[in-house]
Amino acid sequence: MQEKPVQSFLTYRMEQQKFVEIDIDLLQNFGDMLNVIDTTDCRKNASLFKIETDSTIYKIQHLQFCESIFDYKLKQIIYINTDSIKVNDELSYPIDNLDGILKNHLVNEQNDENYPSTEKRLISIHIDESKNIKEVKKLLLNIISTFNSLQMKTNFAFMFDRYGMIKEVPF
């Protein structure tokens, strides 16, 4: 039997952290994913969610807040759920626009002020916690497939989020 290729989506982690791999198919819903994240001792471990298809294994590390500062601006984050995408706290699009939104977010060839011009990019997944894991998996595979079809080499991080849009705090 031939081994499947593995595609990893990794983000920052502390040197002493070890990966704890979780097969997404063993979870019931999005709330279970969030509970795994919440119960992982982020000083020692980083959760790595595995999705296996007939042809490929995907491993996704979510951006974990552990003794670090969240250093993203609003336009460096897009918020995706199962039916819509939110950009920059003002623009909402149906999930059918994923190709164009993802391309703008990851490359921003048009220098659109609603999208990042820096290297830091974040895709925040915010779904009702009761959503079946199959719907979560379908969404993640849709994002990965879209990213792969764009044939880009760019860095970005995934964040699995229970709270929704992050609001900018004025100083």
For the segment 81-114, what is each residue's pLDDT rounded down to a tens digit?
889 999 877 789 999 999 989 888 888 778 777 7
Closest to 113 in 3D by CA, of 73, 156, 150, 159: 73
Q: How far apart are CA 11 and CA 18, in angstroms?
A: 13
Sheet with strand 84-87: strands edge to edge: 91-94, 84-87, 77-80, 122-126, 157-161
| Whether pLDDT at 162 is above 80 | no
pTM for this structure? 0.85
Question: First CA to last CA across the chain, in angstroms?
Answer: 58
8 A C-beta contact, residue 98 and residue 126: no
* 63-86 mean pLDDT: 76
